[in-house]
Amino acid sequence: MANKIKEMFKVFKMALWMNVTLLRRYNSNFIFWVIYAAANAILMLLFIPLYSASISSIGTKSIISFILIGAAMLPLLQETVSSVSGEASFQMWSGIINYSFTTPVSRYIYFSLNSMSEVIISLVIYSPIYLIAIIFAFNYLTPLGLLLSVICFIIGFLGMLQLGFMLGAAMLLFRRVEALDSIINLVITFLSGAFIPLQVLPSSVNYAALFVPLTSSLYLVRYYLVGSSLIAPPYLMWAITIGELIVFALIARFIFKAAEKKAEKIGFNYI
Amino acid sequence: MENVAVRIRNLSKTYTNGGKTTKALKNINLDIKEGEILGVLGPNGAGKTTLINILATLLIPDKGTINAFGIDVLKEANKFREIIGYAGQDSEKSAYYRLTAFETLIYFAYTFRDVKKGDIEREIKYISKKIGFSRKLNSEFSTLSGGEKQALIIMRVLVHKPRLCFLDEPSKSLDPVTAKKFRAFLKDFVRKEKITTIVTTHNMSEAEEICDRIVLINKGKIKFIGTPLEFKNIMNYTDKITLDTRLNKLLIAKLKKIPSIVKIKKTTKSTVIYTNKVNLSLLALTSILKNEKLEPKMTVKSATVEDAFVKVMGNGK
Ligand SMILES: Nc1ncnc2c1ncn2[C@@H]1O[C@H](COP(=O)(O)OP(=O)(O)OP(=O)(O)O)[C@@H](O)[C@H]1O
Ligand SMILES: [Mg+2]
């Protein structure tokens, strides 16, 4: 166990080292990402009038914070899902997955931590938006509320990662699953509540949307930060958020195992 | 040298892909000795890569057992992975494109192996100097040539000094000069570090130069195991003397009486004389030709591993 943790730490540290090294060498891309993140936030703020119209059902104390949280989380999720599946296809195409198969480091740990380190950089890019959201919510904020919102944000982020791993593992198993990536993106865009506030939609849609990862954590983040309304009591929302994280992690692990099994029969080059 | 490092018993592998089955390995039995360099040879599709990939824990065989240094490889794969190094046949792309060669080696060594920072940097510098790679260490992987990428992938295996290393066609895209340097280095290095090495190649002279023993595989079966010398001795001649003329029957009959000549073959424009004592044969041959006032052009070629290869494979069909 201690060894596994040491191994995870080492793999993550090296992956982060690589990503930071490359980021520093090719920093223009980083700047473009920052611009993209800012554009996301600004464009979503254009919808303030729309949100204001239904402020009673959203029940938020700051429309700006409410919007910015969505603006920080939605693209972060989209990038997580596609960069993890991108990592999977790169490892497969380059043969790195074969090399890692012959080393004592667990392939799943390698694959997931490597993807995670990539996504951490996106997290860095989007966190200023989250910070601005906190600033706008400052007047209503309690320390406990801030803490809980941060925790929900992290759990939500981990859930997104699992979704990414699921897609990445599916890519190893089925080779081409780009369409799945698009389906996930579509569903997330409309049903996470990041872009369109779910509070204004019928409650049946809301219940369905709870099956979309990120929805419940996003609800909670906004609830603790700006007091916007929830669809279910907080404890249920927590249970759903954490439950989804676990279920997605298990599914991802399961698909990855199946891919490994298949690879051992005919080789990763051929699956 | 004589301890068995890897014991392979009754190993078989069948691929089933898209409803088609291919028997890639059929009941392979093989002992790999500790510290030796074992060459695996055979035509395309013989099963060399399949064998290497099974040994490197990438593939699971249908049946058979592999025991290496007391480890049951098929059951305790992860323990075994700690002591092996692997460079596959198609691994020349298997690195991150934007890292430099040096960064690549550091990254893979730290991430996957238990190594110390100082040691690994020293090792990288030492090996790159030996194979003439030093000036490329700071180049991005994407800018390396095919052969340079290949060299880097081999270095990745050697820097952490595995006890057992598997190299699938390591010299495939190396130019002759680099390949020569690489062979000399490889032989030296694995000897010094006591790394048991299994290497596949299509290059017979390479096998002859670096391998302690060679295994010949054809259609999934072992056709020969032994030293390169023993392999060459499969041939009943040591040299071939080629005359650029067709000798007449009478002369041929005369030549056939010389004890050191084992066989004579006539082609459309030449006569080939197979001998197991080239000096004696040449003496006798020149005196006979002189008597006949014949002065054909003569070329002498030693029997090569290639010739033995063709012979063994020919029998296998
Ligand atoms: N994943 C696979 N699915 C189906 N058949 C395969 C697969 N991998 C290899 N084969 C077949 O198994 C046989 C052995 O292949 P292998 O790659 O081991 O040959 P090899 O000796 O390494 O050849 P080469 O010298 O060309 O590298 C070949 O007939 C090949 O077509
Ligand atoms: Mg091969």
Domains of chain B: 4-233 (3.40.50.300), 235-315 (3.30.70.100)
Exposure b/e, B129-139, CB count within 10 A at least 16 = b:
ebbebeebbeb
Q: How confident is the model at residue B317 (pLDDT cuts 50, 70, 90)?
A: very low
B247-259 pLDDT, tens per residue?
A: 888 888 888 888 8
Q: Is the pLDDT of residue B5 over 80?
A: yes
The H or E element that residue A51 is part of is: helix A48-53
A213-227 pLDDT, tens per residue?
A: 789 999 999 999 888
Atom of ligand 1 nearest to the CA of B47: 18
| Mean pLDDT across B266-270 | 87
| Mean pLDDT across A251-255 | 90
Residues of B in contact with A270 (CB under 8 A): 17
Q: Is the pLDDT of residue A21 over 60?
A: yes
Answer whether residue A33 is part of any domain: yes
Distance B24 CA to ligand 1 centre (A): 7
Q: How confident is the model at residue B245 (pLDDT cuts 50, 70, 90)?
A: confident
Mutate to test the pocket of ligand 1, among A269, A270, A271 (most ligand atoms within 8 A of CB): A270
Confidence at residue A270, expressed as pLDDT on a 0 to 100 scale? 54
CA atoms A248, A250, A256, A261: torsion sign: negative
CB of B201 closer than 6 angstroms to any ligand 1 atom: no
Coil, strand or helix at B298? strand
Distance CA A209, CA A187 (A): 9
Confidence at residue B315, expressed as pLDDT on a 0 to 100 scale? 52
Q: Tell me how close the Cα of A102 comes to any Cα of chain B, in angstroms.
A: 6
C-alpha distances in angstroms, B189 versus A117, A163, A243, B181? 36, 46, 53, 12
Residues of chain B with pLDDT > 90, as a percent, come to 58
Answer whether residue A232 is part of any domain: yes
Distance CA A200, CA A228 (A): 12
Contacts of B250 (CB under 8 A, 6+ apart): none
Q: Is A43 on the interface with B (CB under 8 A)?
A: no
Confidence at residue B316, expressed as pLDDT on a 0 to 100 scale? 45
Cβ atoms of B47 and B216 within 8 Å: the answer is: no
Residues of chain B with pLDDT > 70, as a percent, come to 98
Q: Tell me how close the Cα of A143 comes to any Cα of chain B, in angstroms.
A: 39
Distance CA B228, CA B215 (A): 9
Exposure b/e, A80-94, CB count within 10 A at least 16 = b:
bbbbbbbbbbbbbeb
Please identify which residue in the block is written with the tokens 């992690």.
A249
Contacts of A265 (CB under 8 A, 6+ apart): B15, B16, B59, B60
CB of B178 closer than 6 angstroms to any ligand 1 atom: no
Q: Tell me how close the Cα of B164 comes to any Cα of chain A, in angstroms.
A: 12
In the sheet with B37-41, reading across from the earlier edge strand, the strands are B84-87, B164-168, B196-200, B37-41, B213-218, B221-226
Cβ atoms of B135 and B100 within 8 Å: the answer is: no
- Give chain A's count of helices (H) and strands (E): 12, 0
Q: How confident is the model at residue B173 (pLDDT cuts 50, 70, 90)?
A: confident
CA atoms A53, A59, A61, A67: torsion sign: negative
Contacts of B51 (CB under 8 A, 6+ apart): B11, B25, B28, B40, B217
User: Could you give the number of structural domains in chain A?
Assistant: 1
Q: Is the ipTM of this complex over 0.90?
A: no
Distance CA A266, CA B254 (A): 59
Coil, strand or helix at B156? helix
Confidence at residue B174, expressed as pLDDT on a 0 to 100 scale? 86
CA atoms B290, B296, B299, B300: torsion sign: negative
B54-112 pLDDT, tens per residue?
A: 999 999 999 999 999 999 999 999 999 999 999 988 888 899 999 999 999 999 999 99
Output the CA torsion B155→B157→B161→B166 (10° steps): -130
Calculate ∠ Cα B91-A170-B47, nearest 5°. Answer: 35
Distance B89 CA to ligand 2 centre (A): 6
Distance A255 CA to ligand 2 centre (A): 29
Coil, strand or helix at B266? strand
First to last CA, chain B: 34
Distance CA A175, CA B112 (A): 25
Answer whether residue A224 is part of any domain: yes
CB of B46 closer than 6 angstroms to any ligand 1 atom: yes
Confidence at residue B158, expressed as pLDDT on a 0 to 100 scale? 93
Residue B304, φ and ψ in degrees, nearest 5 = -115, 170
Q: Is the pLDDT of residue A82 over 90?
A: no
Whether residues B60 and A266 touch (CB distance < 8 A) is answered with no
B115-134 pLDDT, tens per residue?
A: 888 889 999 999 999 888 99
Strands B213-218 and B221-226 turn out to be antiparallel
Whether residues B58 and A263 touch (CB distance < 8 A) is answered with yes
Distance CA A66, CA A41 (A): 11
Answer whether residue A271 is part of any domain: no
Answer whether residue A29 is part of any domain: yes
Q: Which residue of B has its CA nearest to A13?
A: B111
Q: Is B229 exposed, middle or buried (0-12, 13-18, 19+ CB in 10 A)?
A: exposed
Distance CA B306, CA B33 (A): 24
C-alpha distances in angstroms, A229 versus A200, A233, B85? 11, 10, 57
| Helical segments of chain B, H only | 48-55, 77-81, 101-112, 117-130, 146-158, 176-192, 204-210, 228-232, 249-256, 278-291, 305-316
Q: What is the mean pLDDT of chain B?
A: 90
CB of B49 closer than 6 angstroms to any ligand 1 atom: yes
Q: Is A17 on the interface with B (CB under 8 A)?
A: yes
Give the domain range for residue A129: 1-266
Confidence at residue A120, expressed as pLDDT on a 0 to 100 scale? 86
Distance CA A218, CA A192 (A): 8
Token pair of B225 as six digits: 């195991």
| Mean pLDDT across A166-191 | 83
Distance CA A78, CA A185 (A): 6
**B143 or A26, which is more confident:** B143
Confidence at residue B214, expressed as pLDDT on a 0 to 100 scale? 93
Q: What is the mean pLDDT of chain A?
A: 86
Query: Which residue owns the Cα nearest ligand 1 atom 26?
Result: B44
Q: Tell me how close the Cα of B14 comes to any Cα of chain A, in angstroms.
A: 9
What amino acid is encoded at A266 in this protein? I
Confidence at residue A268, expressed as pLDDT on a 0 to 100 scale? 65
Residue B223, φ and ψ in degrees, nearest 5 = -105, -25
Confidence at residue A144, expressed as pLDDT on a 0 to 100 scale? 92
| Partner residues linked to A90 by β-bridges | none
Q: Is the pLDDT of residue B302 over 80?
A: yes
* Residues, CB within 5 angstroms of ligand 2 (ion): B 48-49, 89
Facing residue for B88 by CB, picked from A25, A98, A265: A98
Confidence at residue A269, expressed as pLDDT on a 0 to 100 scale? 60
Atom of ligand 1 nearest to the CA of B53: 18
Distance CA B275, CA B261 (A): 4
Q: Which residue of B has its CA nearest to A91?
A: B94
